[in-house]
Structure 1
């Protein structure tokens, strides 16, 4: 049977993100169990009120609400990525084992990478039709052509959609990938900069007027693990509206807030459609019963 990320056992001491980081919050960009329960209550309230904000999604929203609420009431972990508690529990194993592997591989030989291909933009009403498995295949194709997947080392990339209510007809979902990369794959990523999808110009209709920033961002020599690893398993969508600066260039807000309703409901229903593996691309990382087997 093919092993999945959510099935991984938690790593042993000292690679337990919820206990061994020396930080009260445990999983730094995630939540403690108590915080995850509180977040799920907020999400359940939004689902209950779906009929007020998006009647066309009300039936699906109530079905998701009831499934999460029943699990919480019985003391179980909801079986849905729309649940903050499920996401936290599902990510503890992978984060711990990547942390362990990165330490053994050498944190100085790893990098935090953000990839922002220019085709990961959708009008709000189109987001439910986004298929992350197709996006993974598209990204892997770019990595193959650039020689990244064939280079020695390992890589884990997580999909992260952010919402901008100030663009498009009724908001825009702006997707990108956050990853941890080790070995010669770091240098191989530089070849992506010359590919059409990763050129800095903002030419997509939903990003015209935006400030130009690198579509391939690499920070080498990781410290304070597992904090940067957690960023690849963020597990919630942020609201980052864009605003024109003094020169009239659109700049994204530095503050990250909660996605407004009804887009929060839309995001939860979208998350409920997928599994953790659908949102994570791996290369050079083989899942075993004892953790990840990393390519040398």
Structure 2
């Protein structure tokens, strides 16, 4: 008690008067807000109307997705047999270690996201106009319309005005950045299933893109596997000709046999990396924009801004004494 009295006496009376003046009076605060209610209402109304107009002018975006499972390919047995016969091979000065076994599913996903794959995809299907200039989609006719300031569909001419180094026609890199935003590839860690999804103002275009992506990534990975396997077979045949050791020749024959099996499986299986569990369909419902949420957030932002303006004006004038 004595310490509290000493602490109280340590501060001059002016300190407590200033502290009392600095305290926020909630009644005064609500009174200030009430006096500025018309400004708050006006600000809220402006933002609400603006949010409604903005939401209405946003085109519907549809998403198509395909659920995929990793194909049960017979694994490349070269590395496995190399470890089995590696001791014998090393005696002949031959290295059969073909490198670490890369997860084909993970590799396929990264290839799918790569610029090289997108460039081939862009050139093959000519999707640049649908990706970079599509403005609206007619659900009755199913036809796309393009922004006339960007692209003239009849003349197949790009008309957008941009600053250098950009050109009227979007480059591959510029198109890839946009495509990366509408494409999503996710992997379920528990099941290992992969979902490839694409978004567009046309549900038919979105579905078509997903189907093309699944088909092409299987083909690309199939071709890569075939090229690698052929290279392995050629290498093994070269090493077979260089050795006269019977045991080593047996090893090479077995390795060549396994690689030939791998090559045959790769050529026969179209679903080389991914098997379709649930194919992409034409979406009937949009995924965005969420117009109700946009309107609510716009209205809330307007109300908060209005209250802030009223309070700033009040305290900038020094409170009631300045009014």
Q: Structure 2-normalised TM-score?
A: 0.25
Greater relative contact order (Cα < 8 A, sep 6+): 2
> Relative to total residues, which structure has the larger strand share, 1 or 2?
1
Q: Whose radius of gyration is greater, 1 or 2?
A: 2
Q: Structure 1-normalised TM-score?
A: 0.26
